[in-house]
Each structure stands twice: as C-alpha cells, then as structure tokens.
Amino acid sequence: MERTFLAIKPDGVQRKLVGEIIRRFEAKGFTLVGLKLMNVSRELAESHYGVHKDKPFFAGLVEFITSGPVVAMVWEGDGVIAAARKVIGATNPLNAEPGTIRGDFGANIGRNLIHGSDAPETAQSEIALWFSDAELVAWQPTIMSWIYE
C-alpha cells in the first residue's frame, strides 16, 4: 500500500490542532504508521524544502518550520498521497475549500498548518528524510475489511 509523509507545522501545534488533524486522517480510513513530535533542525528544514531554495519566501519558511515543534507522520492507504493532499486543501488557505484542513483553519499562505507529500517520488524521499526504518510500524488494522472492499 501507498505511504505519504505529513507534518503538522508549528502553527498547527501551537494552535492545539494536532488531535483535530490526526482525527481527520484516521476517520478517513488511513493508517498511521509513523509519528513523532520534534524540533526541526535548520539542516532538515533546508533539505525538506530544498526545491523552494530560490523562492523569495524560502528564508521565512525555514525560520517558520524551525520555530517550534512539528508533528511528523507517515500514513498508509490506497491512494493516500493524492487523497491526503485533498484533505489538506490548497496551499493558500484563502483558496482552500471549506471542509479541508487549510480551508477550515487557515487564513494565510505562510501559516497553512500542515505539509503533505505531493507525489510518489517526493513521498518516498520525504519519508526517508524524516524517519528511520525502525521508526515505522507496519500493522494491519482489524477493521480493514470495513474500509476496503
């Protein structure tokens, strides 16, 4: 099954939205296989957002993501990479649909609460960047036959 990397950013943690955000992915039927609360080093932040290093918002983005604890997660499920991006909503919360995490809780592009991998290749590299193999727990929820045909 597919896996994706999600991270609740410092604004989501500060605003006490950790439970609310995790609840949405659990309720959807995805399986949590990795979870940790952590401070993000500058090195990790710059590597994670390396694709944006030439953008004007890069310095502020690194500053923001290293400014407080982050909840790093790996979730598993059929089509979870694309589906999680839908649950998360558009990058700018002002454009994100109501019902999405950013649409329901965000009001600014620089404070959009959560990161989600955008493709299979980035999911794979982000999971490897943030988690060791030993930190990932493969397990079979017993309710699986009520979620998948």
- The contact set with ligand IDP (CB under 6 A) reads 52, 57, 61, 91, 109-110, 112, 115, 118
Residue with smaller CB distance to ligand IDP, 2 or 141: 2
Does 91 appear as a known binding residue?
yes
Q: Which residues of 84-96 are buried (b: 16+ CB within 10 A; e: fewer)?
A: bbebbbbeebeeb
Nearest to 39 by CA among 15, 7, 74: 7
The minimum distance between CB 61 and Mg ion, in angstroms, equals 11
Work out what residue 61 binds among Mg ion, ligand IDP, none; the CB cut-off runs from 5 to 8 Å by kind: ligand IDP
**Which listed residue (13, 17, 115, 117) is catalytic?**
115
Q: Percent helix, strand and coil across the chain, each rounded to 5? A: 45, 20, 40
52 flagged as catalytic = no
Q: Least distance (Å) from Mg ion to the CB of residue 39? A: 21
For residue 138, the minimal CB distance to ligand IDP (Å) is 26
DSSP per-residue codes, 9-68: -HHHHHTT-HHHHHHHHHHHT-EEEEEEEEPPPHHHHHHHTGGGTTSTTHHHHHHHHTSS
For residues 86 to 125, the per-residue mask of contacts with Mg ion, x marking binding by CB under 5 A and - elsewhere, is: --------------------------------x-------
Catalytic site positions: 115
